[in-house]
Amino acid sequence: MFYEIRTYRLKNGAIPQYLNVVEEEGIAIQKSHLGNLVGYFYSEIGTINEIVHIWAFSSLDDREARRVRLMADPQWQAFLPKIRDLIEVAENKIMKATSFSPKSGNGLPA
């Protein structure tokens, strides 16, 4: 199992607006293509104005195919401008779980 960890630092004070538009529109579009949402978080203590969302994929090829479908979706293309200007810095990591990790892939849907 591979995990994509996307971290965004938003403009100061933009978290409520970002979360609102993602909750109302964006997350349904993402879930319809990306599938396995592990979690969606915002910072409370530490680095401020930070959003982290984690997606699980059965393979890197699975991730690539799902991301291509998401990016080709006209609804997603219409949604992106609503959040693009709120994001100052974006970071993306692909992580693989260890065999002893609670989220090693056992029991997660593909």
Strand ranges inside 62-108, DSSP E = 87-96
Question: Is residue 85 in a domain?
Answer: yes
User: pLDDT, tens digit, for every residue of 91-107?
Assistant: 999 999 888 888 655 44
Question: Is residue 41 in a domain?
Answer: yes
For residue 85, is pLDDT > 60?
yes
Q: How many domains does the chain have?
A: 1
Question: Is residue 104 in a domain?
Answer: no
Provide the 10 A C-beta neighbour count for residue 62. Answer: 17
Structure tokens at 90: 């974006």
pTM of this structure: 0.86
Question: Is residue 106 in a domain?
Answer: no
| Domain enclosing residue 34, as ranges | 2-96
How many angstroms separate the CA atoms of 78 and 70, rounded? 12
Chain centroid offset of residue 67 CA? 11
Residues 6+ apart with CB under 8 A from 59: 2
User: pLDDT, tens digit, for every residue of 14-62?
Assistant: 999 999 999 999 999 999 999 899 999 999 998 899 999 999 999 999 9
Question: Is residue 87 in a domain?
Answer: yes
Q: What's the 3-state SS for 30-68?
A: HHHHHCEEEEEEECCCCCCCEEEEEEEECCHHHHHHHHH
Question: Is residue 101 in a domain?
Answer: no
Q: What is the pLDDT of residue 98?
A: 85
30: domain CATH number?
3.30.70.100
More confident residue, 110 or 44: 44
Q: What is the pLDDT of residue 108?
A: 47
How many angstroms separate the CA atoms of 52 and 42, rounded? 6
